[in-house]
């Protein structure tokens, strides 16, 4: 039987198959059959190119699963960010209303105190073009205190409500007792 392998000490092993001489490299696959020594088979140039492309595809880019997980994480993060942004805008508009309504209520109470006590009536209205959407309502009622009946006739309870927004979304209420001496 003729030996198909030839190599010197410093050379890579060579295989002679059907007149083709191929030099073996360490990266080539090794096959061993029962009873035979390990044989390195040459890799065809096309197979090398396919192997390189497969490695390139595996090392560059993302799998569909990785992209879906990344999209889910981004969706959760954006939902949290947009929710906090919406809550921030809502809190800012409520703070603006509370500040403006307190000033408008103070102004309206000053108007009520300046009126003649005989002219005090329950009333409602708006604050004009300077404060669009702000409405006010004044309700007058008598004070009933059981223990001090003698002086309760001289007080009037004034309830002032400032509201703003569609369906009166925000409301600010103020109650004041006004001393109104009865003329004898």
CA distances from 59 to 48, 54, 166 (A): 17, 9, 58
Distance CA 173, CA 16 (A): 102
Where does the pLDDT of residue 13 fall: very low under 50, low under 70, confident under 90, or very high at 90 and above?
low
Query: 21-38, pLDDT tens digit by residue?
Result: 444 455 545 444 455 555
Query: 169-181, pLDDT tens digit by residue?
Result: 889 999 988 887 7
Residues 93 and 142 in one domain: yes
For residue 83, give its domain range. 73-179
Residues 77 and 20 in one domain: no
Query: 71-95, pLDDT tens digit by residue?
Result: 999 999 999 999 899 899 989 989 9
In a domain, 144, yes or no: yes
Residues 54 and 83 in one domain: no
In a domain, 175, yes or no: yes
Q: Which CATH number covers residue 115?
A: 3.30.1300.30
Model pTM score = 0.54
Residues 96 and 172 in one domain: yes
Residues 52 and 94 in one domain: no
């Amino acid at each position: 039987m003729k030996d198909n392998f030839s190599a010197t000490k410093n050379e890579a092993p060579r295989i002679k198959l059907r007149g083709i001489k191929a030099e073996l490299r360490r990266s080539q696959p090794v096959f061993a059959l029962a009873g035979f020594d390990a044989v390195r088979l040459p890799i065809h140039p096309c197979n090398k190119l396919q192997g390189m492309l497969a490695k390139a595809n595996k090392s560059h880019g993302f799998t569909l699963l990785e992209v879906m997980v990344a999209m889910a994480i981004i969706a959760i993060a954006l939902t949290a960010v947009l929710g906090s942004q919406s809550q921030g805008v809502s809190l800012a508009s409520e703070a603006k209303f509370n500040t403006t309504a307190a000033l408008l209520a103070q102004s309206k109470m000053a108007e009520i105190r300046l009126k003649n006590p005989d002219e005090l009536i329950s009333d409602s209205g708006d604050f004009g073009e300077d404060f669009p959407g702000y409405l006010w309502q004044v309700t007058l009622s008598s004070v009933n205190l059981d223990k001090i009946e003698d002086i309760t006739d001289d007080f009037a309870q004034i309830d002032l409500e400032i509201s703003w927004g569609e369906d009166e979304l925000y409301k600010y209420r103020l109650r004041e007792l006004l001393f109104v001496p009865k003329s004898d």
